[in-house]
Structures are given as structure tokens and as C-alpha cells.
Amino acid sequence: MVQSSTRREKLQKNFTRMFWIQALLNVRMLNVVSTLFFIHRGLTIEQVFYLAIAFSVVNIALEVPSSYLADRWGRKKTIVLAITLLALEKVIYFTADSYTAMLFALGSYAAAFALFTGTDDALVYDTTRELGEENQSVKELGRYYSAQRFAKIVTPLVGALIAQHLLDWQFNIIIAIDLFAVAIALYSAFKLVEPYHHMDAFKQKQGILVDAFNLVRTDPVLIRTIISRTLIFIASFLVWRVHQLYFVDRGVLIVFVGIGMCLIQSIAFWLTRRLTERKSVAVVKEINRLNLWFTVFLIVFVVVSVIAPNPWFLLLLFVMFNSVEPVRWPLYSELYNKRSFSFNRATTLSLSNLIKCFFDIPLLFFGAWLVSQESVYLFAFAALLAIISVVLFRVPRHAIPATT
């Protein structure tokens, strides 16, 4: 419990500060033209995929050490270090013009991601515990994660407008804006108050591999749901990674690609709020329904790209299946929580992320080879992953126990 009213007031501000830190870190205007930026700076499309693989490798390597740092050094200091590394990523981008330089930038981003994720959850959770409001932890975490969509509803269009001619000085402007947003987030992070530790993130992540073995042995349904979510996420990411180059090469202005990304975030935000604010949600039914809709839209996208590749209709289909994918996230989190009696939320999400990273490496390698042949092969492979998820890893009705 809080020792004084002054400390309580300072701790209460953690929630608002973390919301804006998350929002500012998700400005990332460069994302709307990131693939085009990498190619402009001398990379091939295959190397762009290799960067994503390097990101996953660094995440796997730093999963446990980052948690140790958060527990022994402090949540606040670890978050400050993570944001500092994000700032370094932006600085490198200003002059990076080779694959090696981009690897350093993405390595900095991946290290920051490993340091930040889990630590942010722990800080919010421990703040609610010290305030004596533990029953509000899910609500506060929900508000915190909504900041991701909040920032992305507008920033893709702004980034696309600035970099619409894909000139180097335009790229540098949006990098500068991203760096400015990170600098404000860093300032806010310094004002966070370190709560008393109730969540030992190191012990949680240290045991992830053991927990994974036990889950495979004792709870195949949970592993099934994690794979179900992961395959469709990777399917979405494969298409997203090349969509900028694909549409621009077919005459779609980057501004319209930016509008498409804004529509994705807006629709996903609206659908998520509409679904999760219901008094009663049939979680398993909705997960399977959303996975099916994603797969149907993606299959239609692939068929149209082969038979009658109208770029504007394809862009519409791209918006449709990418709007569906993120709506699944809170539903899967709810399912993980219900099944994971012996794990807290952070451990389960860390396990899910770890499994995703292991899947990423071989699938992205194969995706890099496919895209070097023809984009439609990559799209077909993404559709195949989605079909496998829907057919072979459909979430069973009994996935959520009757009593928890």
C-alpha cells in the first residue's frame, strides 16, 4: 500500500505518463514508407526480410536478460534505457545507407523492444498493486494498450503526405518527427515513479522454456491457440512488409497507401471497442470467426492479384484483412488468462511472443526467397499459413474452462 498521499498522487500519474509514452513511441511515421525507405537507401527486398529475421533473433537473445535488468535495476531505468535505444535507432537512420548500418539500427530497435515489453506491463501492474487497486489492473492495462491505436490513426497519413515523393530530405523530416516524439517520451519516462515490485519479471521469463515444455505436455490447447494467433499474424506481416512497394509499383500514390493504413487503425480501433465493450463476449466463437474472415479476405486478395490485379481493389482488400487481424488480440489475451492458471499475464504474453519469434525465423527466410521470385507467391504463402491456422489450429469450443 502507499505510504503517503504525496507518493499516491505521484504514482497515479504513472498511468497517464505511460499512456502518452506508448502513444509517442507509436508515432513511427517512417513505418508507412519503411520498405520504400530501406530500398531507397540501397537494400534489396530480400534484405528487408532479413532485417525482420534479425529483429526476432535479438528478441529471443534478450528476452531473459532484459527482465533481469528490469527486476534488479528497476522498471523506470529499464524503460528509460529502452527509449534511449529507440532514439539511437532514429539517429542511425539519418545517415544509414548500407545493410550493415540498417542492421545496427534494427538491432537497437529490437533491443529496445525487448527491454520495454513486459517491463511496461510490470510497471503498470505494480503501480495498481501499490495503490491498492489491483482489481483495476486489467482496466489500466487496457487503457494503456489503446494508446497504440490512438497514435496510428493519424500518423500514417501525415508520414505519407510528407514523404509522398520518396526523396531523401522527406525521409529525414519524418525521421526527425519520430525522433522528436521519442525525445518527449524519454522526458516523460524520467518523471515516472518506481513502484514497489510485486511482479518478478526475471523469474517469470527465466522459466519460460520450462513453462513451455510443461504447457506442451499438459495443455496442448493453449499451445494450439498461440500457434493459431501466430500463423495469422505472420501471414498479415508478410503481406504488410511488401505492400508499400507492391502498390507504388502499380501506380498507387503513397498518400493513398497512408490513407489505407489510417483506415486500418480506425476500423480496428472501432471494432475492438465495439466487441470488447459488450456485456458478454463468446471469446472462442469470435476468435474463430475473425480468423475465418481474415483468411477469406486474404484468399480473395490472392485470387484478384492473379486474375485481375486492380491495385485499388487490392488496396481495399488489404485494408479489410488487416483491419480484422488486430481485433483478435484482446480476445486471445482473455483466452490465455483463462487457461493459464499458474501464470500471470506477462508470462503468458512473453511465451506467446517467444513462440512467435521462433516461427518468424524460418517463415521469414522462406518469405524472402518467395518475394525474390514474385510477390504473388508470397501472398499465396501467407494465405496458406492462414488456411493452416483456420483448418488445423481452430480454437476448440472448450478452450475456455467452465470455471477459472
**Of the listed ranges 15-19, 141-145, 271-275, 293-297, the one predicted with least confidence:** 141-145
Q: What separation in angstroms does the CA of 376 have from each of 284, 362, 373, 380, 399? A: 32, 19, 9, 6, 35
Cβ atoms of 327 and 275 within 8 Å: the answer is yes
How many CA atoms lie less than 13 Å away from 403 in the CB half-sphere? 0
pLDDT exceeds 60 at position 310: yes
User: Is residue 275 domain-shared with residue 194, that is, in the same domain?
Assistant: no
Calpha distance 34→40 (Å, rounded): 10
Calpha distance 150→23 (Å, rounded): 7
User: Is residue 123 domain-shared with residue 226, that is, in the same domain?
Assistant: no
Average pLDDT over residues 250-265: 95
Average pLDDT over residues 347-364: 78
Average pLDDT over residues 314-338: 86
Give the model's pLDDT for residue 398.
81
User: Is residue 183 domain-shared with residue 214, that is, in the same domain?
Assistant: no
Summarised one tens digit per residue, pLDDT across range 26-77 is 999 999 999 999 999 999 999 999 999 999 999 888 876 777 777 778 889 9
Average pLDDT over residues 372-390: 96
Cβ atoms of 152 and 261 within 8 Å: the answer is yes
Calpha distance 358→101 (Å, rounded): 24
In this structure, the number of other CB atoms found within 10 A of the CB of residue 15 comes to 19
- Give the CATH number for residue 291: 1.20.1250
Average pLDDT over residues 312-330: 93
Summarised one tens digit per residue, pLDDT across range 100-154 is 999 999 999 999 998 887 788 778 777 877 777 655 555 555 566 677 777 788 8
For the chain, the distance separating the N- and C-terminal CA atoms, rounded to the nearest angstrom, is: 27
Give the model's pLDDT for residue 404.
41
Calpha distance 181→189 (Å, rounded): 12
User: Is residue 185 domain-shared with residue 211, that is, in the same domain?
Assistant: no
Cβ atoms of 136 and 17 within 8 Å: the answer is no
Domain span at residue 267 reads: 207-404
User: Is residue 370 domain-shared with residue 290, that is, in the same domain?
Assistant: yes
Q: What cell was used for 394?
A: 481452430
User: Is residue 229 domain-shared with residue 300, that is, in the same domain?
Assistant: yes
Summarised one tens digit per residue, pLDDT across range 163-219 is 999 999 999 999 999 999 999 999 999 999 888 765 555 555 555 556 555 655 677
Examine the fold and report which residue of 167, 202, 237 is the final residue of a domain before the chain moves on. 202
Look at residues 224, 221, 220 and name the one whose alpha carbon lies nearest to residue 389.
224
User: Is residue 179 domain-shared with residue 231, that is, in the same domain?
Assistant: no
Examine the fold and report which residue of 164, 187, 202 is the final residue of a domain before the chain moves on. 202
**Of the listed ranges 120-134, 241-255, 312-326, the one predicted with least confidence:** 120-134
Q: How far is CA 53 from the centre of its chain?
A: 15
pLDDT exceeds 80 at position 6: yes
Q: What cell was used for 125?
A: 501492474
User: Is residue 186 domain-shared with residue 279, that is, in the same domain?
Assistant: no
Give the model's pLDDT for residue 220.
81
- Specify the number of domains making up the chain: 2
Give the model's pLDDT for residue 131.
79
pLDDT exceeds 90 at position 86: yes
Cβ atoms of 370 and 377 within 8 Å: the answer is yes
User: Is residue 154 domain-shared with residue 215, that is, in the same domain?
Assistant: no
- Give the CATH number for residue 139: 1.20.1250.20
Give the model's pLDDT for residue 49.
95
Average pLDDT over residues 237-248: 96
Calpha distance 95→101 (Å, rounded): 9
pLDDT exceeds 50 at position 245: yes
Give the model's pLDDT for residue 339.
65
pLDDT exceeds 60 at position 314: yes
Share of the chain above pLDDT 70, in %: 83
User: Is residue 34 domain-shared with residue 175, that is, in the same domain?
Assistant: yes
Dihedral over Cα of 334, 336, 338, 340: its sign: negative
pTM of the model: 0.84
User: Is residue 137 domain-shared with residue 279, that is, in the same domain?
Assistant: no
User: Is residue 188 domain-shared with residue 217, that is, in the same domain?
Assistant: no
Calpha distance 206→222 (Å, rounded): 20
Q: What cell was used for 300?
A: 480473395
Examine the fold and report which residue of 167, 185, 202 is the final residue of a domain before the chain moves on. 202
By residue count, the chain amounts to: 404
pLDDT exceeds 90 at position 382: yes
**What stretch of H or E contains 248?**
helix 220-249
Which residue's C-alpha cell is 491457440? 225
Calpha distance 89→103 (Å, rounded): 10
